[in-house]
Amino acid sequence: MAREQVGVCAEPNLHGLLLLMNALDGHESAVRRVLGDIPGLIHKLAEQFSEANLNAVVAIGPGYWHSLYPHVRPAEFEPFSPLSVDDLAMPAIPYDVLLKIRADRYDVLHLAIQQCYQLLMPHLELVEQTHCFRFMDGRDLTGFIDQPLPPRGRKKRELALINETQQPELAQGSYLFYQRYRLDLNRWQQLTQSQQEAIIGQRKLDGQQLPTAQLHEHSHAVKAAVVDAFGQYYPLVFQNMPYGQLKSQGLVILACSADPSAYLAWLSRRLGDSAGQNYDLLLDYVQADSGAAFFAPSVSFLEDCAAI
């Protein structure tokens, strides 16, 4: 039975590093070999530093997939489509490979990313590196709990991982979607707590959704909900983490799914209608500056293809 990459369904960590890379021409065989080695390297370090809860996900972009694995392709695996409604824009920047590593010890995280990068460096060009972190017990930089009702245990695996009947050759793989949002922190901090709660649709202290009578129909809690009116989860598992420097800060969104269309459907709901109405109120204070789609194959797939 195929083994999924541990990082797809891992629990939250204190630290994260995200590498976005593009491949050098003619290095496909070497990249396949390196990608097949990375899960074993992470497993070895995770056993050596068990208290760090080290985990990783490596994923391949749709434009590069055929060069690496021409014998099979995930169903409906397409590049991230840029979206624009009125003055709300969701740009797309394609990348060939994504590597996300998380841990509860930053020194172990640094060690892991350093060793992985030594393997990747001769064959891939590093385009972007983002350091993420856990903020105030799972809040994003708005001060609100990012995911008050995340799926747990077996349900998380059902939502994130392709099963044997869907795509047998790619079982335990996952479609992965990446976006980075910048928060206009100065404007956000000028709002009162009650104004912020109306925009988010939750109480700031405990993350509970506002009572129905107070809940705006276009609040973030409604437009970006991960459960429907019947309490059923959408096929998305989020692994969001804040990032920040003095001049720029916000949220990195990473969403895993067994359904290739789920993330764009969720994102379209946040953007509202074609007239620029009914959009997620939080989008007045955040701006997406990149987005990309990937597929994270199973560990078994990566190892089996390493010698091709």
Contact of 181 with 251, CB cutoff 8 Å = yes
The average pLDDT across 92-114 equals: 98
pLDDT at 247: 87
The average pLDDT across 215-235 equals: 86
Query: Which phi and psi (to 5°) does residue 34 adopt?
Result: -65, -45
Cα-Cα-Cα-Cα torsion 288, 292, 298, 300, nearest 10 degrees, comes to -140
pLDDT at 149: 78
Q: Is this structure's pTM higher than 0.85?
A: yes
Residue 117 has pLDDT above 90, yes or no: yes
State both tokens at 12.
Answer: 């939250």
**pLDDT tier at 111, thresholds 50, 70, 90:** very high
pLDDT at 272: 87
Share of the chain above pLDDT 90, in %: 84
pLDDT at 197: 97
The average pLDDT across 48-52 equals: 98
- pLDDT (tens digit per residue) in 77-90: 999 989 888 888 89
CA atoms within 13 A on the CB side of 220: 24
Residue 220 has pLDDT above 80, yes or no: yes
Report how far residue 24's alpha carbon sits from residue 88's, in angstroms, rounded to the nearest whole number: 34
The average pLDDT across 52-76 equals: 97
Question: Which amino acid is located at 196 in the chain?
Answer: Q
- pLDDT (tens digit per residue) in 170-205: 999 999 999 999 999 999 999 999 999 999 999 999
CA-wise closest residue to 181 among 278, 90, 281, 247: 90
The CATH class that applies to domain 6-305 reads alpha beta
pLDDT at 229: 66
Question: Which amino acid is located at 89 in the chain?
Answer: A
Hey, where are the domains in the chain?
6-305
Spacing of C-alpha 119 from chain mean position: 23
The average pLDDT across 210-222 equals: 94
The average pLDDT across 241-257 equals: 95
Rg of the chain over CA atoms, in angstroms? 19
